[in-house]
Structure formats: structure tokens, C-alpha cells
Amino acid sequence: MAAALAMLAALAGCQPRAPLPERRGVASIDYCADQMVLGLLPREKIRAVSFEADSDTSFSAPRAKGIVRIRPQLEDIARLRPAVVVRSYGGAARLDRQLEAMGIHVVQLGFPNNFAETRTDLLRVGTELGAARQARRLASDLEQQLAAAQRPAPASAPSVLYVTPGDVTTGPGSMVAEIVAAAGYTTYRKQPGWGTLPLEALVRRRPDVVMRAFFDSPRYRQDHWTASRHPVVERATRGAADVEVPGAWISCGNWLAGHAVHALATTEREQR
């Protein structure tokens, strides 16, 4: 009996295994990748989006209802068997090499710092995903929004104080500064890069416009001790035009930034 069982086990091991399911569709594994995939591709081509899509309340979350959520981990992605993975910053540094070794094509998003780079990256990714026509349409929409924005001479441009729940603001050299300039403004902060809200400067010099971002997302919501609620900030910004934009519009340097330009430019026209 033992010999017979051993023979059956050996024969079972010789049986051909069922072929694995064919790789298909596209999976995105972080916040910015979600925006790109959901903006470029029809729903039937999207296998999964990241769990970060749920924090993008204005764009990704409503478009991703019913789509599988995935973490940027090799095991989770391999189990899903997508043909393509789109990533920005998600996952370990070597993840792209691991996925390519498994036969999964990786589309890496760029990190645009201006609108020219935004357009170039959008068209490149659209081509890689087989969505060149949609990418051209989104790029055209962005260009129209930029063309419609008013651009007074820099000397006469009002200032915009960028405010976030984490007390971070920015000056020249950032994508936010590009948005501000495209709408015909100048950044309140004159130093390049990022920094905290300048409470002392606000006592002496008030901004013309306050641009608030990320206050719509529970992911970035802070407590009541944030400096953005400081009495100095409240007094300095009293009377300034207030523009609140969804964080999704300015997070990733894609076509959605055009909506922020439009919102600021519209505020400028209403002030005149």
C-alpha cells in the first residue's frame, strides 16, 4: 500500500501545472500615479489603484470607486498580475527592477518643476500607456487655461501667501510658484524653496491673496495648534482675497495644476 501511495504521489507531481493567468491591465501604486492613470485610461484598463487614492477626495477617490486598492509591495503587485505598473515615489528603490524581471513593465512618472516639464511628462506617459490621444487632450486643456490667465507686469503683480495645514509655504523655484506666476501673481515668500509661515514678516507686510491647499484632505488635516490658525496670520490675512484649492490640483505637477491657475486668475479679475 505504501508503495502504491508513493507511486501515485510521484505521478501527481509529474502532472503539468495549470498556466498562470495572463498579465493584463495597469496598476498604479501611489497618489500621483493614481491621478495619472485615472486621468488617462478608461476604467476597464485599470486593475488597481493605491490606498492613497482615498485621500485625494476631489479627483481620485470619486473616480476610483469599486477599483481594487493595492499597496506598493512586490508581493501584492505580483499577486494581481498587471501588465503595467505606474509609479511616482511609491515602493522601494529597487521595486522597478524587480517588476521588470517578472515581465511587468514599469512606467516611472517624472517630477515636473514647471509647466513645460509637466506637458512633456504627460505626453510621454500617455504614449507609454497607449493613451496618447487623451494625454494630448489634457495637455491642450492645460495650455488653454494658462493662455486664459492674466499676466500683469511683475512689478504690479499682487502677492500670494501659500498656506497649508502643516504651516508650510513656498517661494520661487517650486511648482506652486509656477502656478502663482501663471495666474499673474508673485509669491509672498521671496526666498527660494520651502519654509514655515513667516509670522514676523506678516506683521509688517500683508499678502494680497491667501491660497490655501490640502485643507480638504483628512490625510493632511492638522490640529488647532497649527500656525495657520495663529492670531497673527488671521489679522494679516483679514481683508485679503481667499482662494482654497483642493490639494489634488497642486500635488503632482500634472494637468490639474491648470485648475489652480484658473482659480487664482479668476480671483484677480474679480478684484479689479
Cα distances (Å, whole numbers) of residue 79 to 33, 70, 82 = 19, 10, 9
* Domain containing residue 195: CATH number: 3.40.50.1980
210 CB-near residues (< 8 Å, 6+ apart) = 160, 161, 163, 237, 240, 241, 242, 243
The Cα 100–Cα 94 span in angstroms is 10
Which of 145, 166, 200 terminates a domain? The answer is: 145
pLDDT digits (tens, 9 = 90+) for 95-114: 999 999 999 999 999 999 99
What is the pLDDT at residue 205?
A: 85
Which residue range forms the structural domain that includes residue 217?
Answer: 152-271
Same domain, 229 and 165: yes
Grid cell 501663471 is found at: 182
Phi, psi of 170 (to 5 degrees): -150, 165
pLDDT digits (tens, 9 = 90+) for 35-63: 999 999 999 999 999 999 998 989 999 99
For residues 114-133, average pLDDT: 97
Q: Which three cell numbers stand for residue 73?
A: 509591495
Q: In sequence order, which ranges of 47-103 are alpha helices (DSSP H)?
A: 60-63, 74-80, 95-101
pLDDT digits (tens, 9 = 90+) for 246-270: 999 999 999 999 999 999 998 855 5
Which of 145, 178, 195 terminates a domain? The answer is: 145
Q: How many CB atoms within 10 Å of residue 206? A: 17
pLDDT at 222 over 70: no
Q: Total structural domains in the chain?
A: 2
